[in-house]
């Protein structure tokens, strides 16, 4: 869009601006089409990333901190690398989707600049008004089946979600430990004189 300011011919400038407007509209259609087409795949990818992260963090924290089992260095490094790879996949996916949406919104600033520069060209001013209306009429988002948007704020929500499910898993594990220890304390060793040994209730 910066090249348009240096063009001398008003007709060529209007033609290029119209072409840019149509290309931008086509790209927004393409982003929406990608979101709707690959929505189920994106949902499965996000669920797979969440489950991997949740289970790896759960195993790592439960075994090392809660149960205090000494894990050898190879296993420790393997879990850490796996957590880093899965977290990097989530961060990269959110970053790329956020960058696409951000680039789409940046066009507004370019149009405001063009309107100020091309104040003496009524044809370009009219095209820019239509362009602005088109951009404002729709918001570009990369969504997962229209359930949630994939962007950088999703990372904070994902961290909170995984922390919540982690606490639920720990609570279930602690309840299971309490239940198992009660059963061990209550059970008595019964002397068996004849096979099969049957406990008296």
Tens of pLDDT, residues 154-170: 888 888 877 787 777 77
> What would the two tokens of residue 177 be?
């430990």
Q: Is 42 left (phi over 0), alpha (psi -120 to 50) or beta?
A: alpha
pLDDT 10s digits, 183-194 = 555 444 455 555
Average pLDDT over residues 122-140: 84
195, part of any domain: no
Task: HSE, CB side, 13 Å, CA atoms: give it for residue 42.
Answer: 19
Query: For 134-161, how does the pLDDT look when each residue is reduced to its tens digit (9 = 90+)?
Result: 888 878 888 888 888 888 888 888 888 7
Q: How many separate domains does the chain show?
A: 1
Q: Has residue 3 been placed in a domain?
A: no
Contact 142, 100 (CB under 8 A): yes
pLDDT of amino acid 191: 54
> Is residue 192 in some structural domain?
no
What confidence score (pLDDT) does residue 177 get?
57
Question: Is 197 inside a domain boundary?
Answer: no
Task: Classify residue 83: in a domain, yes or no.
Answer: yes
Give a yes or no: residue 93 inside a domain: yes
Give a yes or no: residue 196 inside a domain: no
Mean pLDDT over 87-110 rounds to 85
Average pLDDT over all residues of the chain: 77
Asked if pLDDT for residue 180 goes beyond 70, the answer is no
Q: How confident is the model at residue 201 (pLDDT cuts 50, 70, 90)?
A: very low
Residue 45 lies in a domain: yes
Tokens of 137: 């009429």
For residue 111, what are the domain limits? Answer: 9-186
């Amino acid at each position: 869009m910066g090249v348009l300011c240096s063009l001398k011919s008003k007709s060529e400038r209007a033609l290029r601006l119209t072409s840019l407007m149509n290309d931008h509209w086509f790209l927004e259609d393409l982003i929406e089409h990608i979101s709707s087409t690959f929505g189920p795949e994106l949902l499965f990818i996000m669920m797979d990333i969440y489950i991997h992260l949740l289970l790896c963090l759960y195993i790592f924290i439960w075994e090392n901190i809660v149960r205090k089992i000494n894990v050898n260095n190879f296993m420790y490094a393997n879990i850490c690398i796996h957590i880093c790879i899965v977290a990097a996949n989530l961060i990269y996916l959110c970053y790329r989707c956020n960058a696409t949406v951000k680039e789409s919104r940046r066009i507004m600033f370019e149009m405001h600049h063009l309107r100020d520069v091309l104040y003496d060209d009524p044809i370009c001013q009219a095209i820019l008004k239509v362009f602005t209306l088109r951009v404002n009429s729709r918001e570009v988002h990369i969504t997962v089946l229209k359930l949630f948007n994939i962007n950088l704020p999703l990372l904070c929500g994902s961290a909170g979600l995984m922390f919540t499910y982690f606490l639920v898993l720990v609570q279930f594990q602690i309840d299971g430990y309490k239940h198992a220890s009660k059963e061990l304390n209550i059970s008595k060793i019964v002397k068996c004189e004849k096979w099969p040994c049957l406990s008296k209730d």
